[in-house]
Amino acid sequence: MASFFLWVTGLAVLIAALVVMGKRKIKKAIVLSVILIVAGGVSYLFKMPSDRLLISRVSVVDKGKCIPVDGGMAFVVRDLGLDALNRGHKRNTTDIKDNTAALFYGGYIKTPFITFPEGDYAVVFHARGTRAKEEFAILKVEFEQLNNAGYLLTEESRYIPLNKSMRRWLTPFRVNRPGIGRVKISFVNDDLEPDGKRDRNAWIKDVKILKHKNG
């Protein structure tokens, strides 16, 4: 988007310089247009595909405190990181029920950082959702991994449409290089009907990460 804007602006300046500007100003206009066009080209060359966008940069990760995945692991709600809005709700603090995280607002839960050997894994959990405006809650399941520069990249993602039944979901993912990563589950389509009678929410329980065997 930015590269396209720079190209168009540079070309517009160049055309304007050639058509309406006098000889004294035309050199400065041409220089400016060339700078904009070159900047657009550079930004295009260094742009990152949308499915590989940098999510965040993690300044400090204590590798010694990262959990080794070993054969697999299970998490209780208090082990999981929640976004600020959902984290402050009493259903996720003092009134936790049946090891279930309640997402009443658009947000996420995420595992601690984990040390992964290369291999095939799966995140397994139970979830259900409510419906509003003729659509049920939808979850986005992501595997995020730190690269060598300390940026957290989404390596794989998948969307899961829920329904009113609490059911088991299994989402496989591949770790192509040994390293530190985590799983993030986001509630992405929070909404409320105008009369307030129906609200989209999601409930997630018994999150596990397992070594996954294909077939």
CATH number, position 173: 2.60.120.260
Output the pLDDT for position 6. Answer: 47
- Both 65 and 158 in a single domain? yes
- Both 13 and 94 in a single domain? no
- Both 33 and 101 in a single domain? no
- Both 149 and 171 in a single domain? yes
Output the pLDDT for position 148. Answer: 84
- Both 38 and 86 in a single domain? no
- Both 86 and 182 in a single domain? yes
Output the pLDDT for position 47. Answer: 45
- Both 11 and 32 in a single domain? yes
Output the pLDDT for position 87. Answer: 95
Output the pLDDT for position 129. Answer: 98
pLDDT tens, residue order, the chain (215 aa): 444 444 445 555 555 555 555 555 566 666 666 665 565 554 544 444 444 444 456 656 777 778 888 888 999 999 999 999 999 999 999 999 999 999 999 999 999 999 999 999 999 999 999 999 999 999 999 999 998 888 899 999 999 999 999 999 999 999 999 999 999 999 999 999 998 789 999 999 999 999 876 54
- Both 60 and 36 in a single domain? no
Output the pLDDT for position 177. Answer: 92
- Both 150 and 194 in a single domain? yes
- Both 59 and 39 in a single domain? no
Q: Are 208 and 183 in contact (CB under 8 A)?
A: no
Output the pLDDT for position 16. Answer: 57
Output the pLDDT for position 53. Answer: 44
How many structural domains are present in the chain? 2
- Both 63 and 113 in a single domain? yes
Domain containing 37: what range?
A: 2-45
Neighbour-count burial of 121, counting CB atoms closer than 10 A to its CB (0-12 exposed, 13-18 middle, 19+ buried): buried
